A and B are shown apart, each in its own frame.
Chain A
Amino acid sequence: MTERLNGPQDPPATIAGGSVPGPADTPRKQRRLGPSPTVAIVFLLPAAVLLGIWVVYPIVYSIFRSLFDATGSGFVGLGNYLTIFTDGSMLTTIRNNLIWVVVAPIVVTTLGLIFAVLTERIKWATAFKLIVFMPMAVSLMAAGVIFRLVYDEDPDKGVANAILTTVHDTFSSSQGYPEARPREGDQSQVAAQSGAVVTKQPVQAGQPVLVPIVGIKPEIMPGSAAPAKAAPPGNDLSGTVWFDFTAGGGGKNGAIDGSEKGLPGMTVEAVKDGQVAGTATTAEDGTFRFDGLPAGAYVVRLPQSNFQAAYHGLTWLGPTLITPAIIGAFVWVWAGFAMVLIAAGLAAIPRDALEAARIDGATEWQVFRRITVPLLSPVLLVVFVTMIINTLKVFDLVFIIAPPSVQPQSNVIALEMWRVSFGGGNNQGLGSALAIFLLILVLPFMIMNIRRFRRDES
C-alpha cells in the first residue's frame, strides 16, 4: 500500500524543490572529479542487481509467459492479446478503465485545486487540510469497506441513501399504501392501470363498487382501520375499498369477509370522459360516497398517489451506477493528496506577481485564471499524471465495493488480470498478457512524469 505513495512518480519533495530555484552549485556537466568507472560500477551494482531481479526479470518473464496458454506449455503467439480485444467481458473492463482515466484524474485535480486555493484564505487552514488529507491514512482496502457501507441500498445502513431519502421525504413524503395492488381476476371489478386502480367497466350510481386491494404490509396498515363494510345502498355512487385478505387465510377472494379491514384515507375519483368529475375519500371502514354527482356512468379510479412507493434512494451498487460510485470513493481518498501537493505549489508562487495584478485592478477570478493556474500548471500536471497512473492500476476499491453480482460490470484491467490469473480459471498466460497491456498503457505517463522531473531538476 505504501508503494502507492513511494512509487517512482512520487513527487512531493521534487515539486517543492522544483519550483524553487535549485542550489546554484549543481552544474549540469562535471569534469571527471569523481571516482573511476570501476568504482562507479561497484557502487551501482547492488541497485542494478535488485532492479534486475525485481523489475526487469518479471517484466521479461511476463512477456514470455503471455505468449503461452493456461497450462504454460502450449505456444499461442499473440492469441492471448487477441482475446483481450475480442472477448466481451474484457472489452467491458477496457471501457471501464477509459471512464476511470477520463473522469477520475480531472475530478481529483480540480477538487484538489479548489481545496488548495480555498485553504489559502481560511483561518483554520491546517485543520481543514488535515481533515481532507486524512483519508490518505486509510488503506484503500479499508476505504473500500467503508464505501461499501456508504452505498448500501438500505437507507438504514447506507449513508448515501439515508441522505437522499431524507432530502426527498422533506419535499414529498410517501403516503397511503405503497406497493399495494388490486386483486385481479375475472371476478374482480377492478384492474391495475399504469399505477392507478380503475374499474374495468363504467359503473352507475346505486350499485356499490367493490375495490379489493392486496399486498399491504402489516406495518403500513393504519391503526384506525375498521372492519370493512359494504357501502349502504343509496342514490349516490358509492363503494368500498378494503384489504381483501383474511389473516390466517380462509376468506373468499373479492368478497368482504367478516374480519377484513377497510382502507381509510384512500383517495377515490369518479372519472367521466377522461375528466375527474368528483373526488371522495374512504372512511375508516373503507366505504366512500360521491355526493351530488350527476347521474350517469363513471369509471371509478384510485389514483396512483395512493400507491406511491416509498422512495428508497438510488441503487448505487447496481450495474449502472457502480463505476461512478467507486470513482466517488477514489476521489474521497485522493483529493487530499492532490490538495497537499497543489497547496505546496501554491505556496511557492511569487507573491509579488499576485500583488501586482491586484494593484493593476484584476479581479480575484482573473488573478486565479491568469496568474495562479498558469504558474501552478507544472504541479497540476504532475498531480494529473500521477492520478492517471493510479486510476489505470486501480484494483482494491473495485474488488471491495462492487458486490459479486455487478463485478463484471465494474471490472477494470488490473482486477481482471488477477482474476484470470488466480481466480477460477488460473490462466496465467492471459493474465500476463493483461499485465503487459496495462504496462503499455501506463508507460507513456511514466515517461512523461520522469521527463518532467528531469526538466525540473535541471
Chain B
Amino acid sequence: MARVELMDYEQALELFEPVIGLEVHVELNTETKMFSPAPNPANEKYHGAAPNTLVSPVCLGLPGSLPVVNGEAVEKSISLGLALGCSIAESSRFARKNYFYPDLAKNYQISQYDEPIAFDGEVEVELADGRTFQVPIERAHMEEDAGKLTHVGGATGRIQGAEYSLVDYNRAGVPLVEIVTRPIFGAEGDAPELAKAYVSTIRDMAISLGISEARMERGNLRCDANVSLRPRGAEQLGTRTETKNVNSFRSIERAVRYEIQRQAAILAKGGAITQETRHWHEDTGTTSPGRPKSDADDYRYFPEPDLVPVVPSRERVAELRAALPEPPPARRRRLKAEWGFTDLEFQGVVNGGLLNEVAATIAAGASPAAARKWWTGELTRLANASETDAASLASPEHVAELAALVEAGTLTDRLARQVLEGVVAGEGSPQQIVDARGLAVVSDDGALIAAIDAALAAQPDVLAKIRDGKVQAAGAVIGAVMKAMQGKADAARVRELVLERAAAAE
C-alpha cells in the first residue's frame, strides 16, 4: 500500500473547512428480535449465547417465513426519536434494501427508506470546555441487524484470503435504530471532539431511556463517520468518505482527525477524494479503503409487502414523551442556576463526573457549597490517591450527614476529614464514627478553661508576652491546649478563652 501522506492539522484547518456527518446504530435491548420471536442477543439476558442458538425460521430467512414487527422495538424507537427532538411519523413504513451477502439471511434487509419512524430533530452536545453545539438530526429509522461472519484461515481474518467463513445468525434480526445527522457545519477544529461528544450523548440518552445496553465494545452502539473538506470560501461540499468500524469514543475522535489530515494532503496537491467506505484500524490509528460506494449504490428499495405500515397512536406517543428523562444539557443548565455555582465551580463538578453525586447530596439536605466542597475536595483527593472514582468512595447521604455535623458545630473541618476517612474505610455513618471514635468537638468551656489555666501556668513567659500585648504569642498556648484536648476543640473558641484568661490572670 502506498504511504499515506497527512497534512499538519492546524494547516489543514487553515486551508479547509471540515464538514462531518454521523450515522449511529443503536441495538435495542428488547426481549425478542425486530421481526421474529427469537430471543435478542442485544439484551443482557441473552448476551454471549452459543452461535446459531437464538434463531427462528424468520431470522434464518427460511422459505415461507414472514416478518412481524416487534411492538416493544417500535416503542423504544419512538422514545429515542423523541429524545432526539424528532417528529414522530403518523404513519411509517418498512422497505426492503436488496443486496446479496451471506450474513444477510434473506439477501435483503428490512429497513426504512422514505418513511422513517422519526425525523427532523436536534441534539445539544457539550464539549469538555462547556461550549455547546446543536447537532441537526435528519432521521432515525428502524431496521434489522445482519448476522456475523467469521473468516477462517488467511492472514488477516478478513474475507480476502480466507479459506472458509462461518456465519452466526444470532445477531440476524436484532432491532436497530439508525440515527443519521444532517451535515454538521461550523465545528472547525473541534469537529473530532464534537463527533466523540455526540456519540457519547447518544449513549447517555440510550442508557437513561433504558432502551439499549449501549456498550460500544459489544457493538450495541456503532458509529460511521462521514468527513469531507471544502476549501475556505467555497460553497459546494467536498466529496466525502465514510469511515466504518469506529468502535470506541477515542477512535471516533482520532478517525475524524485522521481523515481531515489525509484528505487535506490529497486536496492540497490538487488530487481528488474518492467517494468510498473506509475502515478504521485501531492498532495503527489509520483508515484504509473499503469498497467504492458507487459499486453498491442501487439497493432497489421498495416498500416491504409483508408488513403493514406502523401507525403509532398519538396518545401513546404523548405518553412516551411525558415519560422522557430530562435531556442532560438542560438538566445541567437548570442545576447550575439552582445551585448558584460559578462557571468554574460547576465545570469542576461536571468534569469530575460528580454531577449526580452532588445533586443527590444536596437532595439529602446539604448546602450546594458544602456538597461541592466535599466531593471535589477531600473525596476527590482520596480517590486520586487510591486511583478510583470519588463516586465509589462514599454515599451522598453520608456526605450530607457529614456536612450537617460541621454546620451544627459538632465537627471542625479537621475532625470532619477524619470522620470521612472512617466513612471511606467502611466504619459506618458519620454519626456512628463520631460516637465510636469520640471525635466530637468539646464545647464545655469549663473543661477548656481548666486546660488553658494549666497551660498558662506552665508557660509564664508566654503569659507575660500576651499581657504585654503580643497577642500572637498566644499560639503556643493554643497549641498546647488543643493537644491536651486531643484536637476535639474549636480553635477559635480556645483562642478567645486564652486571651480572656491571660487578661484575668494576676
- Determine if chain A interacts with chain B: no
Chain B contact residues, CB within 8 Å of chain A: none
Chain A contact residues, CB within 8 Å of chain B: none
